[in-house]
Amino acid sequence: MDNLEKALAIALIGLFAYFLIMLFILVPLKAEPSEIHGELSFGYIGEDQDYCTEFVLSYEFSIFVLQGGIETLMEQSPTMIFFCPYRNTYSFSCRIQPFEHLYVEASHQCTHAVWSYRKQFYDNFEGGNRTNFKIGIRW
């Protein structure tokens, strides 16, 4: 098994573990009226001529919204028909909306290097790790 296959296997195992953890945390909370949403996307990044894929799972109950996700940036291999990942971004946020149009939110995003077909680690991306605290208005 070469390094790319190992990296893909680890990424898939991590994604599956993340999904199971979110499911076991969120399902018991489902007793109150709530909703679980998921998103899976694949896109093209014009500026970089690269691609991205993103998986997001969110859980809404009462006045709370919990959301977590992973985004992978990748380039298409010039000689093969697969993609070479070069950046993973993990995110988690918790939003409390005590009133209809007012919310408070805490979120964290962290970026990690990925071992890819290019045989290089990419690290220290601009804005790689960030924690935000927000107060906002929705309409």
Instruction: Express each pLDDT in 15-69 by its tens digit.
Output: 666 666 665 555 555 556 678 889 999 998 888 778 889 999 998 887 888 899 9
Kindly tell me if the per-residue pLDDT of 74 is higher than 60: yes
Residue range of the domain that includes 38: 3-137
Q: Read off the DSSP letter of residue 85.
A: E
Burial class (CB in 10 A: 0-12, 13-18, 19+), 89: buried
| 8 Å CB contact between 54 and 40 | yes
Q: What is the pLDDT of residue 4?
A: 63
Our count of domains for the chain comes to: 1
| Global confidence as pTM | 0.65
